[in-house]
Amino acid sequence: MRILALDDERTALNILSRAIAEAVPDAELLCFSTVTEALKAMGEENAPLDVAFLDIEMPGMTGLELAHLIKTHAPMVNIVFVTGYSQYALEALSVRPSGYIMKPVDAEQIRVEIKNLRHPPSRTVADKRIRAQCFGDFELFVDGKAVPFSRAKSKELLAFLIDRRGASCTTAKIADALWEDGVYDRARQKLLSTICIDMQKSLKQVGAEQIVLKTNNLLAINPEAFDCDYYRALSGDVASINRFMGEYMAAYSWAEFTTGALTTKFSAMTDE
């Protein structure tokens, strides 16, 4: 499911995007603070939108005007207005929206709207059936469902490989990241071997084993085999950049360096 979130107030956009991410974790979320950015992205993307959550009061083109424009080109897009003002409800009916939410938005409101869409989408997954979510908490989705890992360290291993973006990692380097205690004795090597096997087993069960490459004692991720918000953001994708709210693989301490680098990079881009 592809969802657009638009609000010119950064704080309101953050609240809205977090609520959507919590309510629909497997959705592809496109976040924008200006109508210009949103229109540009919609013009460049080949895949159609399923839902558009639009703030009504915005400078330039209002959410109501944008909704009419969207409906002209894509009548089956579900429009959900998000506003702090109830007086727009009657005017909003002219667009035949799917819903109307009053601010502040929470995940339960989003769930209700998604459950009762005027035009339920027939597509449930993104173009690539495997998708990694790195912003916020790390998750791997296959066909729209989160992949279960029997060991937390197996999931963390995969996250670390994704963070390395295709660079080959030795088992010693992996162990140093996963435990951070400097211990790499025979017992630790054996444990890491078990974790590697468990990770690959979990991936194979969902048909995603091709995203990890293994040669001798080296492991690497195959960046071309799956979709990833982190990779998209680094490539300059505005929607993915806007989805970064200062959290990256939040459960893992080794990810703090990347979090800081992303914060610096994207803040500089915003200030330009």
Cα–Cα distance, 114 to 121 (Å, whole number): 10
Average pLDDT over residues 154-169: 97
**Domain limits of the chain?**
2-124, 128-272
Q: Whole-angstrom distance between the N-terminal and C-terminal Cα of the chain?
A: 32
Task: Match 């994704």 to its residue by tokens.
Answer: 162
pLDDT of residue 125 exceeding 50: no
Indicate the CATH number for domain 2-124: 3.40.50.2300
pLDDT of residue 127 exceeding 70: no
Instruction: Pull the structure tokens for residue 83.
Output: 């506003």
**Interacting residues of 201 by C-beta distance below 8 A, sequence separation 6+:** none
What is the per-residue pLDDT across 17-56, written as a single tens digit (0 to 9) for each?
Answer: 999 999 988 788 899 999 988 888 777 555 678 899 999 8
Angle between helices 107-115 and 10-23 (to 10 degrees): 60
Tell me the average pLDDT of the chain: 88
Cα–Cα distance, 196 to 226 (Å, whole number): 19
**Interacting residues of 42 by C-beta distance below 8 A, sequence separation 6+:** 4, 49, 70
Q: How is domain 128-272 classified at the architecture level of CATH?
A: Orthogonal Bundle (1.10)
What is the per-residue pLDDT across 207-260, written as a single tens digit (0 to 9) for each?
Answer: 999 999 988 789 999 998 999 999 988 988 777 888 888 999 999 999 999 999
What is the per-residue pLDDT across 52-81, written as a single tens digit (0 to 9) for each?
Answer: 999 988 888 888 889 888 888 888 889 999
Instruction: Pull the structure tokens for residue 96.
Output: 């035949």
For residue 267, CA distances in Å to 4, 12, 253 come to 22, 18, 22
What percentage of the chain exceeds 70 in pLDDT?
Answer: 90
